[in-house]
């Protein structure tokens, strides 16, 4: 396993601090590159499906160039340290999931003790062979469509431009989702 401290330090500067989540993301990227032989995305040729919105995802964005803006970073709010990477051209991919117990830090510790434990945990995550951290297996999945650019239209309530595919039509009016939700709640209360 090759840990490049210089690369991790670049990631820390990008993210703002070192923490166990960032170290996990760094190690996930290593697994994807070394075991999966997957490459950094220029455009949408590599898709990342992440099942959490933790610090770990910054490593995926930073090193693999999977981003929301390009449409090749897909977030599923499952609260799991699970990451799936798929090559669009082949459908071949890799699923990486954190083993149970890796992130356990007792909550009844002082802030200072928690901080020390977190630092030690970062060192452990960066040093352990990936097999001790993750379950890794190959996958083939149905790929999402490539990112689409849609027309934006103004919301009839707030006036903000909203992607047409994300609007709600009520009668002759068109609303963004937040305004449609507010109107629905107001009508329910009355």
SS3 at position 154: strand
Q: Are residues 173 and 134 in the same domain?
A: no
Q: Are residues 93 and 19 in the same domain?
A: yes
Q: Are residues 132 and 172 in the same domain?
A: no
Q: Are residues 82 and 176 in the same domain?
A: no
Q: Does 95 reside within a domain?
A: yes
Q: Are residues 96 and 130 in the same domain?
A: yes
42 band by pLDDT with thresholds 50, 70 and 90? confident
On the question of pLDDT at 140 being above 50, the answer is yes
On the question of pLDDT at 88 being above 50, the answer is yes
Q: Which domain holds residue 30?
A: 5-140
Number of domains observed in the structure of the chain: 2
Q: Does 146 reside within a domain?
A: no
Residues 6+ apart with CB under 8 A from 52: 77, 78, 79, 80, 81, 82
CATH number reported for the structural domain that contains residue 98 in this entry: 3.30.1330.130
Residues 6+ apart with CB under 8 A from 99: 132, 133, 134, 135
Angle between helix axes 5-15 and 20-34 (nearest 10 degrees) is 130
Q: Does 147 reside within a domain?
A: no
What Å distances lie between residue 66 and 118, 128, 166, CA to CA?
27, 25, 23
End-to-end, the C-alpha distance of the chain in Å comes to 62
Q: Does 63 reside within a domain?
A: yes
Contact 139, 86 (CB under 8 A): yes
**Is the full-model pTM beyond 0.95?**
no
Q: Are residues 12 and 71 in the same domain?
A: yes
What pLDDT is recorded for position 49? 96
SS3 at position 91: coil
Q: Does 177 reside within a domain?
A: yes
Q: Does 22 reside within a domain?
A: yes
Q: Are residues 161 and 126 in the same domain?
A: no
What pLDDT is recorded for position 130? 93
Tens of pLDDT along 151-164?
A: 999 999 999 999 99
Q: Are residues 98 and 161 in the same domain?
A: no
Distance of CA 39 to the CA centre of its chain: 17
Q: Which two tokens stand for residue 54?
A: 């933790």
Q: Which residues pair with 85 in a beta bridge?
A: 48, 94
Q: Are residues 32 and 111 in the same domain?
A: yes
* CA–CA distance, 170 with 123 (Å, rounded to integer): 55
Q: Are residues 184 and 96 in the same domain?
A: no
Q: Does 145 reside within a domain?
A: no
Q: Does 136 reside within a domain?
A: yes
For 16: left if phi > 0, alpha if psi spans -120 to 50, otherwise beta; the answer is: left
Q: Are residues 72 and 161 in the same domain?
A: no
Q: Are residues 156 and 96 in the same domain?
A: no
Contact 17, 122 (CB under 8 A): no
- Higher confidence at residue 149 or residue 172? 172
Choose the weakest-confidence range: 48-62, 137-151, 161-175.
137-151
């Amino acid at each position: 396993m090759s840990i490049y401290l210089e690369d991790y330090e670049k990631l820390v500067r990008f993210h703002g601090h070192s923490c166990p989540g960032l170290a996990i993301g760094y190690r996930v990227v290593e697994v994807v590159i070394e075991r999966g032989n997957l490459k950094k995305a220029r455009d949408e040729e590599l898709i990342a499906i992440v099942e959490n919105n933790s610090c770990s995802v910054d490593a995926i964005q930073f090193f693999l160039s999977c981003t929301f803006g390009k449409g090749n970073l897909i977030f599923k709010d499952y609260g799991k340290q699970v990451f799936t990477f798929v090559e669009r051209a082949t459908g071949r991919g890799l699923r990486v999931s954190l083993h149970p117990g890796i992130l356990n830090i007792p909550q009844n510790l002082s802030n200072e003790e928690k901080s020390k434990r977190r630092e030690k945990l970062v060192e452990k995550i960066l040093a352990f062979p990936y097999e001790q951290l993750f379950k890794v297996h190959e996958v083939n999945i149905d790929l999402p469509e490539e990112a689409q650019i849609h027309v934006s239209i103004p919301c009839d309530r707030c006036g903000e431009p909203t992607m047409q595919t994300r609007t709600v039509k009520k009668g002759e009016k068109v609303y963004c989702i937040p305004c449609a939700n507010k109107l629905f709640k107001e009508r329910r209360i009355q």
